[in-house]
């Protein structure tokens, strides 16, 4: 026990969970908000911005990248990070579906 039973859920449910889980940490929300503000930056900029060490920031960036929420391009000896719109597009579709459901059933709660 302890491991998530991913095989028992649909691919769509697992994919969405990976995306939302990646956003489920204040440091990663802060990274996304910073990237939205500056458009693109290198890891060191985020280390200066956040109260976390370089390895910790690097790890958070890796998780956001693996989830498909950011992209990283090599630029000289640094790596330029920016938002990956594809990931956010997928989340957007999910919340749009939720919105449609909620509008239909407004205040029909128990």
Partner DNA sequence: TATTTATATTGCAATATTACGATATAGTAA
Partner DNA sequence: TTACTATATCGTAATATTGCAATATAAATA
Interface with DNA, residue 30, by CB under 7 A: no
Interface with DNA, residue 82, by CB under 7 A: no
As a residue count, the chain comes to: 110
Interface with DNA, residue 11, by CB under 7 A: no
Kindly give, in sequence order, each residue whose CB lies less than 8 Å from that of residue 51, ignoring residues fewer than 6 positions away.
none
In angstroms, give the least distance from the CB of 41 to DNA. Answer: 8
CA distances from 94 to 12, 28, 44, 86 (A): 10, 20, 33, 13
Strand ranges for 4-105 from DSSP E: 40-42, 70-75, 78-83
- Determine the Cα–Cα distance for residues 46 and 59; give it in Å rounded to an integer: 12
Contact present, 81 and 41 (Cβ < 8 Å): yes
- Residues 53-72 close enough to bind its own copies by CB under 8 A: 71
Out of 52, 58, 65, 90, point to the residue binding its own copies (CB under 8 A): 52
Contact track, DNA, 56-75, x by CB under 7 A: x-xxxxxx--------x-x-
Select from DNA, its own copies, none the partner in contact with residue 95, using the beta carbon and a kind-dependent cut-off of 5 to 8 Å.
its own copies
Binding residues for DNA, per CB under 7 A? Answer: 1-5, 21, 24-25, 27, 42-45, 47, 52-56, 58-63, 72, 74, 76-79
């Amino acid at each position: 026990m302890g491991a998530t039973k991913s095989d028992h859920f649909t691919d769509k449910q697992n994919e969405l969970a990976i995306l939302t889980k990646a956003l489920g940490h204040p440091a990663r929300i802060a990274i996304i908000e910073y990237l939205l503000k500056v458009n693109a930056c290198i890891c060191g900029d985020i280390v200066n911005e956040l109260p976390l060490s370089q390895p910790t920031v690097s790890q958070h960036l890796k998780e956001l990248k693996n989830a498909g929420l950011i992209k990283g391009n090599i630029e000289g000896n640094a790596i330029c990070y920016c938002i990956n719109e594809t990931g956010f597009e997928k989340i957007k579709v999910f919340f749009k579906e939720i919105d449609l459901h909620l509008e239909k059933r407004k205040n029909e709660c128990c």
